[in-house]
Amino acid sequence: MNTRQEKILKASVAEGHFNDDRTVVAYVDTDKLSETVSSLLQAFPEHFSHTFAAKANTMSNALKMVKDLGMGCEVASPGELEQALRAGFNPAEMVYDEPAKTPAILERALGLGIGLNIDNFQELARVEEILTGKPSRSRIGFRINPQVGAGSISAMSTATHTSKFGVALEDDGNRQALISAYLQKPWLTSIHTHVGSQGCSLELMTAGVGKVVALAEEVNRAAGQQQIEVVDIGGGLPVNFDSDEITPTFSDYANSLSQAVPELFTGKYRVKTEFGRSIFAKNGFIATRVEYTKSAGGRTIAVSHAGAQVATRTVFMPDYWKIRVSVADSSGRAKRGNEVMQDIAGPLCFAGDMIGTERLLPEIEPGDYVVLHDTGAYYFSNPFYYNALTAPAVYGAAIEDHEGVNFKVWRRQQTVNDMLAAIG
Give least dist CB 164 to ligand PLP, A: 11
Q: Judged by CB under 6 A, does residue 83 bind ligand PLP?
A: no
Within 8 A by CB and 6+ apart from 12, the residues are 18, 25, 27, 287, 332, 395, 397, 405, 407
- CB 235, min distance to ligand PLP, A: 3
Using CA atoms of 224, 230, 234, 238 in order, give the dihedral in degrees to the nearest 10: 100
Q: Which stretch binds ligand PLP (CB under 6 A): 121-129, 241-249, 269-277, 321-329?
A: 269-277
CB of 175 to ligand PLP, least distance (A): 21
195 near ligand PLP, judged by CB under 6 A: no
Residues 311 and 231: their CA atoms lie apart, in Å, by 34
Residues 348, 307: Cα–Cα separation, whole Å: 6
**Are 320 and 153 spatial neighbours (Cβ–Cβ below 8 Å)?**
yes
3-state secondary structure of 334: strand
Among 91, 115, 146, 234, binds ligand PLP (CB under 6 A): 234
With contact defined as beta carbons under 8 Å apart, do 45 and 268 qualify?
no
Residue 370 in contact with ligand PLP, rule: CB under 6 A? no
Cα(96)–Cα(73) distance, integer angstroms: 9
Specify the residue, 93 or 274, whose C-beta has the smaller distance to ligand PLP. Answer: 274
Does 198 help bind ligand PLP (rule: CB under 6 A)?
A: yes
- Name residue 300's beta-bridge partners: 295
* Contact stretch for ligand PLP (CB under 6 A) within 50-58, 147-155, 260-268, 388-396: 50-58
Q: Give the nearer residue to ligand PLP in terms of CB position, either 142 or 407.
A: 142
Q: Where are the beta strands (DSSP E) in 146-229?
A: 167-168, 188-192
Shortest distance in whole angstroms from residue 40 CB to ligand PLP? 11
Position 278 contacts ligand PLP (CB under 6 A)? yes
CB nearer ligand PLP, residue 194 or residue 411:
194
Closest separation in Å from C-beta 97 to ligand PLP: 4
User: Of 340, 345, 374, 346, which is closest to residue 359 (Cα–Cα)?
Assistant: 340
Which residue, 23 or 197, has its beta carbon nearer to ligand PLP? Answer: 197
**Distances 163 to 89, 155, 346, 385 between C-alpha atoms, Å:** 30, 10, 33, 29
Among 26, 48, 74, 395, binds ligand PLP (CB under 6 A): 74
Answer for which of 11, 33, 37, 56 binds ligand PLP (CB under 6 A) is: 56
Closest to ligand PLP by CB, 235 vs 392, is 235
Q: In angstroms, what is the minimal distance from the CB of 225 to ligand PLP?
A: 28
- Contacting range for ligand PLP; rule: CB under 6 A; set: 49-57, 248-256, 385-393, 394-402: 49-57
For residues 10 and 64, what is the distance between their CA atoms, to the nearest angstrom? 27
> Rule CB under 6 A: is residue 235 a binding residue for ligand PLP?
yes
Q: Would you count residue 375 as binding ligand PLP (CB under 6 A)?
A: no
Q: Is 277 in the site for ligand PLP (CB under 6 A)?
A: yes
Of the residues 276, 284, 376, 383, which one makes contact with ligand PLP according to CB under 6 A: 276
Contact flag: residue 335 with ligand PLP (CB under 6 A): no
- Within 8 A by CB and 6+ apart from 54, the residues are 63, 73, 74, 75, 76, 80, 83, 84, 276
What is the C-alpha to C-alpha distance for residues 193 and 177, in angstroms, rounded to an integer?
A: 17
- DSSP summary character for residue 169: T
Closest to 2 in 3D by CA, of 276, 282, 240, 358:
282
Q: List residues binding ligand PLP (CB under 6 A).
A: 53, 55-56, 74, 97, 194, 197-198, 234-237, 274-278
